[in-house]
Amino acid sequence: MALTLEEMTAVGAHQKGHFRLSSGLHSGDYLQCAIYLADPVRAGRVGEELAAAIRSAGLAPDLVVSPALGGVIVGHETARALGVPFLFTERQDGVMTLRRGFALAPGQRVVIVEDVVTTGKSTREVVDVIGTAGAEVVGLASMVNRSGDPNPFAPVPYRALLEVVFPTWRPEECPLCAEGMPVVKPGSRPVA
Ligand code: ZN
């Protein structure tokens, strides 16, 4: 695929170290798509590549839907490249819903675009929002697939520009803790 981990590393969107993730797990890798997408030229290229992957999968969506905030930049750029409208979902009181004022028409064909798919759980909430509106999710696409599964949404088609799996550990099993390496929250200075 056209996006490589080396490219993400080169711009600081992938970092090596010893990180405490928001889940509480530890990892030697940290990936933040927003850092890569901070350059609008790079974001535009990601959108073009995702649009090409969507077209080559035989999908011709009526619109793109992404979850805020993480999916908005990449979804917007993909919709621009496909020449279709872009809508987004957001969490209101913990419930995934279409942004106020947005509407889907029954039968509309939707591709969901994400920055990163990790477990696919939040993406499935978006699938449910679209289904509830009577529209159809014809495919999904993301910049990065970290799930370890080539398609966690099968049988619905799914494409990613980069597949990568980083090991994570519980603190008591973490080899980096065992080495005595200070652990940091991603984006912060060492805390230990
Ligand atoms: Zn650790």
Which of 105, 104, 106, 117 shows the shortest CA–CA distance to 74?
117
CA of 59 to the centre of ligand 1 (A): 42
Q: Where are the beta strands (DSSP E) in the chain?
A: 14-20, 26-31, 63-67, 86-92, 95-98, 109-117, 136-145, 158-163, 168-169
pTM, to two decimals: 0.91
Q: Report the separation in Å between the CA atom of 183 and the middle of ligand 1, taken as the mean of its atom positions.
A: 6
Report the Cα–Cα distance between both ends of the chain, in Å, rounded: 38
CA of 16 to the centre of ligand 1 (A): 13
Average pLDDT over residues 86-114: 95
Q: If you average pLDDT over every residue of the chain, what do you get? A: 94
Instruction: Pick one of 3.30.230.10, 3.50.50.100, 2.40.10.120, 3.40.50.2020 as the CATH number of 39-164.
Output: 3.40.50.2020
Banded model confidence at residue 1, pLDDT cuts 50, 70, 90: low
Taking the centre of ligand 1 as the mean of its atom positions, its distance from the CA of residue 175, in whole angstroms, is 6
Q: pLDDT exceeding 90 applies to what percent of the chain?
A: 90
pLDDT in tens, 52-71: 999 999 999 999 999 999 99
